[in-house]
Amino acid sequence: MKQILAIPAAGKGSRLNSHVPKIFTPVSGSKTVFDFILESLNAEVDLVLLLLSPEGKAYFDKHVATHVPSNIQLLIQSEATGMFDAVNQLVSHVLAMPEDVRLILQWGDQPFCDQTLHDAMWKDLSLHDATVPLVWVDEPYVQYRFVGQDVQVLESREGEAVDAHGFKDMGIFGLNKSLLQATWAHYSEHAPIGKVTGEKNFVKYIGTLHPQFKVFWRLDQPFYKSLGINTPEELAQAKLYVEQREHLIQ
């Protein structure tokens, strides 16, 4: 069984007003989002698939490549055509592998999904087809609404009404290859098109799995691990969190 961490990180960080690829944005001093992700790795991770833009690869080769583990493999998204296409490229790569795979898919703007969370998710995947950590928040950007046996995945960016309070994902998803083999081709062909963006969306895929497949909804993680960095405000919040945490552990 091969355990793979896949990171779609072809974003340019335009909303951050950044001059570096988003995944290489400094969060604490010179320590970047990618540095935090590297800290989450342990011996159980056989391979890290890192999907970058051509510009991101150039930056990686110049500034990062000399101090990364040997189990990192780069893939290139030649054009910025949206998150679904990025995920599809990663999933297609995994499906082409001969080995059985447990896959953790983690957005490249999530610095705080740490080793403890990864370890819990690898264990989940030994018992379930998928594992999705959720946190309860005000005005979720993406909401997972549970109605009877159904899961509705609502996206405010597509003009869908979300509740004042609800569950959102943490930007990290665990998926077994056997599940992807059974479901991904159909979803990628028939995925609904967003009414605002005109794009297919990966998160809608998660809503198609339950209850036909065994999805474990992990609810034990603290909110701070879900902090993503897409805007200057979110970056400031992440910087403040790291600063305050360092005071506590001194």
Specify the pairing of strand 2-8 against strand 47-52. Answer: parallel
Alpha-carbon distance 59 to 37, whole Å? 17
pTM of the model as a whole:
0.95
Residue 134: strand pairing partners: 169
* pLDDT over 90 at 16, yes or no: no
Nearest CA-CA partner of 49 in 1, 109, 93: 93
- Side-chain-facing half-sphere of 84: CA atoms under 13 Å: 20
pLDDT reported for residue 17 = 75
Note the pLDDT tens digit of each residue in 199-224. Answer: 999 999 999 998 899 999 999 999 99
Nearest CA-CA partner of 127 in 208, 218, 219, 225: 218
Q: Domains in the chain and their CATH numbers?
A: 2-133+170-249 (3.90.550.10)
Nearest CA-CA partner of 24 in 14, 13, 40: 13
Tokens representing residue 250 in the block: 């001194």
Note the pLDDT tens digit of each residue in 113-166. Answer: 999 999 999 999 999 999 999 999 999 999 999 998 889 999 999 999 999 999
Do residues 13 and 82 lie in contact, with contact meaning Cβ atoms separated by under 8 Å? no
* pLDDT over 80 at 13, yes or no: no
Q: What are the angstrom distances between the C-alpha of 57 and each of 49, 79, 247?
A: 13, 13, 35
With H, G, I as helix, E, B as strand and everything else as coil, classify residue 85.
Answer: helix
